[in-house]
């Protein structure tokens, strides 16, 4: 069961990638227009860097690494609370976490005259968040439990010797939609793009762990309730600004 849970998010992301890549064999028959390095920021969400390729006047794609860190690390939680999520649950995903990192793969469709400056697209986004040292009080309040009580017996080590007293590893997959416009800069190797975007949650998995006590019952409850929260409320609007350095000019 645990192996299946760990692999589910990867399977979902792989399905998205295969779906987004379905058109690529046909696109390969067309003359490639341009390719380059794709980097920028999704305000107020993540920093992105990756590869961009435009196959012809109509179709392009990007494949990015993306990172969530300061000052954006609390913004997704604020969005979910704004849509109606319980602050007691969002507190579990709050700081501190080391970093959020993942991938963003998308397809672009260009339209209009004037060198096809306008485009819309769809993307699959996977993120992993690692949160360390959650306080017992946050879990107690969120799930109406008492972690120091008899329902959660301690193991062979003490809390003072614990290296991971209470940690949470979160994986989630988003489906994103975006619309944008590109501007050619004075230097023909450079291009700027501005997009409005929205992503919605398809799947999440939340692994609450402790290395000094038995917390399986509350860990299962945490995963189920956080999954339900993200499915309902993880809608993230962004304003995306990207630079592209073209490699074939």
Residue 148 is predicted with a pLDDT of 86
Statement: residue 5 has pLDDT above 50: no
For residue 1, give both structure tokens.
Answer: 């069961």
More confident residue, 131 or 176: 176
| Region 73-97 average pLDDT | 86
CB-side neighbour CA atoms (13 Å) of 204? 26
Query: Which residues lie below 8 Å from residue 181, measured CB to CB, with a gap of 6+?
Result: 117, 118, 119, 193, 194
How high is the pLDDT of residue 166? 87
Give dist(CA 30, CA 81) in Å, integer.
46
Average pLDDT (89-104) is 80
pLDDT, position 220: 94
Residue 196 pLDDT > 90: yes
Question: What ranges in the chain are assigned the alpha helix state H?
Answer: 2-20, 24-27, 75-83, 87-90, 136-143, 216-233
| DSSP of 55-73 | -SSSEEEEEEEEEE-TTST
* pLDDT (0 to 100) of residue 159: 73
What lies within 8 Å, CB to CB, of 173 at 6+ separation is: 9, 12, 13, 16, 124, 125, 126, 201, 202, 203, 204
C-alpha 197/C-alpha 199 separation (Å) is 7
Distance CA 120, CA 37 (A): 19
- Where do the domains of the chain lie, and which CATH numbers do they carry? 2-246 (2.40.160.20)
The percentage of the chain sitting over the pLDDT mark of 90, rounded to a whole number, equals 52
| Rounded average pLDDT over 118-122 | 95
End-to-end CA gap in the chain: 51
Residue, of 132 and 18, whose pLDDT is higher: 132
CB neighbour class for 187 (10 Å; exposed up to 12, middle 13-18, buried from 19): exposed
pLDDT digits (tens, 9 = 90+) for 136-194: 899 999 999 998 888 888 887 777 777 778 888 899 999 999 999 999 888 989 999 99
pLDDT of residue 74: 82
Structure tokens at 249: 């000019």
| pLDDT exceeds cutoff 80 at 241 | yes
**17-76: pLDDT as tens digits:** 555 555 554 444 555 578 999 999 999 989 999 999 988 888 999 999 999 887 887 888
pTM of the model: 0.82
- Give 4's pLDDT tier (boundaries 50, 70, 90): low
The two structure tokens encoding residue 83: 């849509």
Tally the residues of the chain.
Answer: 249
Inter-axis angle of helices 216-233 and 75-83, nearest 10: 70
Q: Which two tokens stand for residue 32?
A: 């490639």
For the chain, give the mean pLDDT: 85
DSSP state letter for 9: H
pLDDT at 11: 62
């Amino acid at each position: 069961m645990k192996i299946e849970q760990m692999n589910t998010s990867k399977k979902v992301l792989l399905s998205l990638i295969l779906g987004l890549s379905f058109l690529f064999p046909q696109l390969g028959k067309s003359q490639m227009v341009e390719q380059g390095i794709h980097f920028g920021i999704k305000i107020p969400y993540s920093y992105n860097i990756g590869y961009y390729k435009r196959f012809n006047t109509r179709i392009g794609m990007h494949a990015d690494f993306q990172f969530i860190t300061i000052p954006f690390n609390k913004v997704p939680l604020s969005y979910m609370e704004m849509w109606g999520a319980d602050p007691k649950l969002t507190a579990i995903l709050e700081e501190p976490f080391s970093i959020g990192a993942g991938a963003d793969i998308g397809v672009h469709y260009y339209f209009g005259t004037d060198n096809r400056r306008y485009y819309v697209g769809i993307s699959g986004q996977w993120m992993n968040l690692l949160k360390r040292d959650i306080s017992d009080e946050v879990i107690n309040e969120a799930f109406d439990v008492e972690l120091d009580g008899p329902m959660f017996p301690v193991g062979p080590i003490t809390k003072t010797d614990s290296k991971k007293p209470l940690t949470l590893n979160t994986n989630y997959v988003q489906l994103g939609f975006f619309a944008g416009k590109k501007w050619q800069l004075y230097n023909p190797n450079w291009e700027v793009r501005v997009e409005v975007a929205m992503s919605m949650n398809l799947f999440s998995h939340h692994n609450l762990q402790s290395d000094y006590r038995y917390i399986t019952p509350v860990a299962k409850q945490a995963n189920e309730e956080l999954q339900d929260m993200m499915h309902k409320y993880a809608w993230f609007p962004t304003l995306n600004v990207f630079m592209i350095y073209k490699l074939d000019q």
